[in-house]
Chain A
Amino acid sequence: MIKRILPILIISLLLLWEVYAMPTRIQILDLQYKESKLSLISQTAKIGYYPDRKIQPKDGYTCIILSENDKILYSFKFKIPEYTFVDVTDPAKDELSGGIVKLDSTEFALTLPYFKEAKSIILYNEKNNEVLSIEVPKEQYAAKNGIVWSLVIVLIVLLAIIFFLIIRKK
């Protein structure tokens, strides 16, 4: 009996496993660059998407996410957005004018993947000097749509059935 039921239960268990494609857990850093100094204003974590960063600047700042044992989990290059291009359109001639505006201080944000095992985020400047270290807050990561809970319930039911069958056989 157990031999017949077990495969069915295992298959049911596998079918219940819902792998969610995207989005994933992400974190967003709110940063300020003022008088050549970089500082963290705030940060948040949520379910969402982060840029794939297949296109990165050749030079610039480097952001590295480190694990507890100092393993690099993720890294990329970015530029501090000190300049903004502004373009005025002449509606009659469709000609452009304007140029660049240099911002005295700039607030910008970086969207990053979230790693459960991450310890810190380190930012390096163009000369590869560490300019900011951010501790990654630990949080209870609840799996989406209760996948874990559904698995736990299925396991309890599975154990209960096996237990029931063993007792009945005795």
Chain B
Amino acid sequence: MKKSQMFVSKTFIYILITIITAGILIFGYKGIQEARKNSEEVQMSLFLNSLKKSIEKQRVYPFGSTDQLTFSLPNKIRSVCFVDNPKNLNELTNSELSSQFGNYEDFNIFFMPFVEHIPQKLAGFKLEENPLCISNMDGKVKLQLKSLGNIVEISASNKTNTEADCVSVAYNGEDNIDIVFLNYGYSNINNFAGDVNDYIVNVFSTVEPFASQIDKFNFYRIDKPLGDVCSVKDFVLCNEYAVKILASDCPNDYIFVLVDRSKITDFVKPVRSSAISNMAKINTADNKFVLMHEYGHIIAELADEYVDDKYYAQFKFSQEDYPNCDSIPCSKWSGIEDVGCYKGCSLSQYFRPTQTSIMKSLKSSFFGPVNEKEINKYLGAYK
């Protein structure tokens, strides 16, 4: 090949590499921005729904009942302003808000910076001071809701910032299944808030039978870290007493401890996600659906559908104790449609109802008819 030809081809390769790199950077940046925007939109909708349900709940409480609540908001929002529509607005409080209210008279909740966020409308509340603007402190707003008969008065909470807050991330009503997320190993608490939203929106809300019954769940998070209460070995060990003391700051039918691990660190030293009693410890470097797998263990006592003879042979594992493992001819799930009798369920001698469910592999994002039926038995306890 001539020198000039080599030069041209080399230049062409460099240009191509530059274009590909630029393309990856631009699309990657756009993708991240898009994902961030979507996550913020989801967080906003969770906030509004939680606030709406909390107002509905407070309304039925006796006259004068108060509740101090902390809600999760995207960090980008500086403050949230409530406006009591029928009353005259005190324009001195916030002139920017007054002009905004002029453009959106039918709305009563505004988010600062106003130009970036669409105002919202919510019924059933009144204000002592109009308008009421509350600052967003580290992704949280603290409100006091007071029942005044058929209406709820909103005011700023008098709770101090030093208290271990129970942040209401997605509230759907009273007498629901309450799930609280705790954090371990996070250097930035905003990442914890982001992970919690991710698990709620992209895991809990997408996997059946939870997705279609998501209104039976309330989700909370506690930002105060677990500290030296836990330690990371092959799996995460926590002092359950200390965990439960902290978790009791929120309603806590089930507790999820999110353990922040980078994928690289985890590749070098893998740490197992685990489940025990009403608590699951989730390695955030694992596929997100591992949370569903662990929850299957704790809510419905489902067995692993993968086979690990070496592990399971050490224990008196019997299919009789689990609803999703059986011996031939798999009579436990006879009569249920779309199931079979597939070899391997914790031990290779047992059989499972589906080829691949979330209890076998994280490639799957469904539990399968037998596991769903079993989980539904437990969810049925909640109306």
Known interface pairs A85-B275, A95-B362. Does A28 touch B67 (Cβ–Cβ under 8 Å)? no
Stretch at the interface among A86-94, A123-131, A133-141, A154-162: A86-94
* B64:A30 contact, CB within 8 angstroms: no
* A86:B244 contact, CB within 8 angstroms: no
* B274:A85 contact, CB within 8 angstroms: yes
* A91:B267 contact, CB within 8 angstroms: yes
* Nearest chain B residue, comparing its CB with the CB of A56: B381
B175 within 8 A of A: yes
B62 contacts across to A, CB distance below 8 A: 19
Closest Cβ of chain B to A100, distance in Å, is: 6
B267 contacts across to A, CB distance below 8 A: 91
* Nearest chain B residue, comparing its CB with the CB of A31: B241
A3 contacts across to B, CB distance below 8 A: none
Q: Given A22, A30, A51, A100, which contacts B241 in the complex, CB threshold below 8 Å?
A: A30
Known interface pairs A17-B64, A21-B61, A22-B251. Does A94 touch B363 (Cβ–Cβ under 8 Å)? yes
* A85:B252 contact, CB within 8 angstroms: no
A55 within 8 A of B: yes
Q: Given A22, A28, A51, which contacts B253 in the complex, CB threshold below 8 Å?
A: A51
* B290:A87 contact, CB within 8 angstroms: yes
A21 contacts across to B, CB distance below 8 A: 58, 61, 65-67
B32 within 8 A of A: no
> Max chain A CB contacts within 10 Å: which of B243, B267, B272, B274?
B272
B247 contacts across to A, CB distance below 8 A: 111
B249 within 8 A of A: yes
* A46:B248 contact, CB within 8 angstroms: yes
How many chain B residues sit at the interface, stated as a range, is 35 or more
A22 contacts across to B, CB distance below 8 A: 67, 251
* A87:B241 contact, CB within 8 angstroms: no
* B361:A94 contact, CB within 8 angstroms: yes
**A53-67 near B? 1/0 per residue, CB < 8 Å:** 011010000000000
* A107:B239 contact, CB within 8 angstroms: yes
A26 within 8 A of B: yes
Count of chain A residues near B, Cβ 8 A:
50
Closest Cβ of chain A to B66, distance in Å, is: 6
* B275:A108 contact, CB within 8 angstroms: no
A166 within 8 A of B: no
* A94:B287 contact, CB within 8 angstroms: yes
* A111:B361 contact, CB within 8 angstroms: no
A42 contacts across to B, CB distance below 8 A: 241
* B304:A89 contact, CB within 8 angstroms: no
B7 contacts across to A, CB distance below 8 A: none
Q: Restricting to B245-274, which residues have a CB under 8 Å from any CB of A? A: 245, 247-253, 263, 266-267, 270, 272-274
* A20:B67 contact, CB within 8 angstroms: yes
* B290:A86 contact, CB within 8 angstroms: no
Closest Cβ of chain A to B288, distance in Å, is: 10
Q: Can you identify 18 A-B contacts, CB atoms within 8 angstroms?
A: A16-B64, A19-B61, A19-B64, A19-B65, A50-B248, A51-B253, A52-B178, A55-B253, A84-B274, A87-B290, A87-B293, A89-B270, A91-B263, A94-B287, A96-B306, A96-B360, A96-B361, A97-B311
Q: A85-B294, A88-B272, A102-B314 are in contact. List 11 more A-B contacts (CB 8 A).
A: A15-B64, A21-B67, A50-B252, A51-B252, A51-B278, A52-B253, A55-B253, A94-B362, A95-B306, A98-B311, A100-B312
Q: Residues of A at under 8 Å CB distance from B? A: 14-23, 26, 28, 30, 41-42, 44, 46, 48-52, 54-55, 57, 78-79, 81, 83-89, 91, 93-102, 107-109, 111
Across the A-B interface, give the 10 residue pairs with the lowest CB-CB distance, nearest first.
A99-B311, A48-B248, A30-B241, A54-B381, A84-B276, A94-B362, A86-B272, A109-B244, A89-B286, A109-B241
